[in-house]
Amino acid sequence: MMTTLTCSSSSSLILQPLKPPKPSKLSRFSKPRTLILTVTSSSESKPSKNPSKKPQKQPTSKFRRRASYGSSRRSTIKKTFSQEQVNFTAPFSSEPQVGIIGGGMAGLVCALNLDKRGVKSTVFDTGIHGLGGRMGTRIIDPQPLIFDHAAQFFTVSDSRFGQLVDGWLERGLVREWKGMIGELEAGGQFIPYLNSPPRYVGVNGMRPLADSLLAQTSMVNVVRPSWISKLEPYNGMWHVSENGKPQGQFDIIIIAHNGKCANRLLGSSGLPLIARQMKRLELSSIWALLAAFEDPLPIAGLEQFEGAFVNGVDSVSWMANNLKKLSSSQSNDPQCWTFFSTAAYAKQTKVPQENIPNATAEKVKTGMLEGIEAALGLSKGSLPRPFYSRLQLWGAALPTNTPGVPCIFDPHGRAGICGDWLLGSSVESAAVSGMALADHIAEYIQSGGVDPEEFAVGLHHEFRPLEGHDIGQFPGLESKVEEEAQTYQLTT
């Protein structure tokens, strides 16, 4: 027997018998015993589904205006997997608003493309110092010292991403990183990538690039720092709030982040299919050690090298000289290096990223500095001590599996996901995903939402493992390097 739960104005739930839905719908969403929860759109009903909970303070003017939707805006919620599926059935509002939770590359490019398609959006991001998420740049005053402390550079293989990057080049937001990079084998053997495809970096680091991405938009609102802690379907709209404080209501919601935060947010949102896909995602961890040295590192014969993937050392997978990468001055400024651990080393030494015990921090720092000595072929203890260092754990650093779809969209729940992990583990995959979701949503809005089934994407895709470097993928770089290695083998 199926049952309807109706949230009445007194916030009690009324159980009513309900006709079973058609078998085709059943097979798509639910197990045979399904609870359908109809959220009434009466102005008195409350967004909270828990009747025992104290109602949230709602007398904001925004909230009162929404009451005018009256009974024409309805949403139903079906129980699937471990939570109920929300099902919006009412028409979109005349000027649909999209809420984007996450202001990394994926969320920002999604907002940018919605703007191009004439759709309004609001981006919420936790960033205290700026937008960008894993495109982080740390600037330490007064010197200043500068470090890209996550994404280091990116390559371009997708033509639409290429067009976007061309625009950034024109606006002076990115430039080609022509410095020498390659692979550093333990012991100090450096193999340069002589023929790598163009590599790009933010002109003043990755974060300034992220912060500038929306500068030319007119329909995007950014709210930062803001940590969205709750998503609730109510009166045909998504209501988002931050620690109980309402932050707006949206026709469509986008989750543009991943990891524990997203799992928590989706845990009771009414989006079981989206929540299930998000839960399948597996993420690696990476330690970042930022270190500033007074003098160039003692790397005799390797003075030209600016970045390297490190092989054969447990604790280090990448090192780059930010001074050379980001600054045109080749002066006596401090040498700011970013070192990343391997994912395996971070797994062995993992602790909660927001509370790293001093003993662990010291052990990891020592382990990584010893790893750098080993990589450079220096004797133990001969690496100069940095005069500034900072250790950070990226607890949810990079995806290790992917469904391989540009975006995920649940048309019944009017909710989507974009992010690097849907396609790969790179700045490019994040941007391509953001673009794809924006286009999909613009088209869904244009369709009036009358045939939702047509617009379901990625809700059931299986995941496959992701390959690449410990710090992600660099489309085009790997194939060029392989080509080079083969040519080298043929000619020797």
What is the spatial distance between Cα 472 and Cα 107, in angstroms, rounded to a whole number? Answer: 19
Count, in order, helices (H) and strands (E) of the chain: 12, 27
Shortest Å, Cβ 185 to ligand FAD:
20
Q: Which stretch binds ligand FAD (CB under 6 A): 255-263, 302-310, 366-374, 376-384?
A: 255-263
**Residue 232: DSSP 8-state:** E
Q: Which amino acid is at 282?
A: E
Q: What's the sign of the alpha-carbon dihedral 432, 433, 434, 440? A: positive
Which x/- pattern, by CB under 6 A, does the window 322-361 give for ligand FAD? ------------------x---------------------
Rule CB under 6 A: choose which of 154, 161, 238, 339 binds ligand FAD.
Answer: 154
Which C-beta is closer to ligand FAD: that of 105 or that of 292? 105
Size of the residue set binding ligand FAD (CB under 6 A): 40
Shortest Å, Cβ 356 to ligand FAD:
16
Question: Is there a contact between 191 and 309 (Cβ–Cβ < 8 Å)?
Answer: no
Cα pseudo-dihedral 210, 214, 220, 226, rounded to 10: 20
Rule CB under 6 A: choose which of 146, 398, 408, 432 binds ligand FAD.
Answer: 398
Q: Binding of ligand FAD at residue 403 (CB under 6 A)? A: no
What is the spatial distance between Cα 41 and Cα 236, in angstroms, rounded to a whole number? Answer: 8
The single residue listed with the structure tokens 């010291």 is 362
Strand pairing class (75-80; 83-88): antiparallel
Site for ligand FAD in 258-277 (CB under 6 A): 261, 265
- Compute the half-sphere exposure of residue 71: CA atoms within 13 Å on the CB side of its CA: 1
Q: Binding of ligand FAD at residue 438 (CB under 6 A)? A: no
Rule CB under 6 A: choose which of 88, 92, 124, 337 binds ligand FAD.
Answer: 124
Q: Binding of ligand FAD at residue 420 (CB under 6 A)? A: yes
Shortest Å, Cβ 16 to ligand FAD:
35
Rule CB under 6 A: choose which of 7, 119, 150, 290 binds ligand FAD.
Answer: 150
What is the spatial distance between Cα 252 and Cα 295, in angstroms, rounded to a whole number? Answer: 52
What is the spatial distance between Cα 255 and Cα 238, in angstroms, rounded to a whole number? Answer: 12
Q: Binding of ligand FAD at residue 367 (CB under 6 A)? A: no
**Residue 413: DSSP 8-state:** T
Residues found near ligand FAD in the complex (CB under 6 A): 101-107, 124-127, 133-135, 150-154, 226-228, 256-257, 261, 265, 286, 288, 340, 394, 397-398, 419-420, 425-427, 430, 471-472
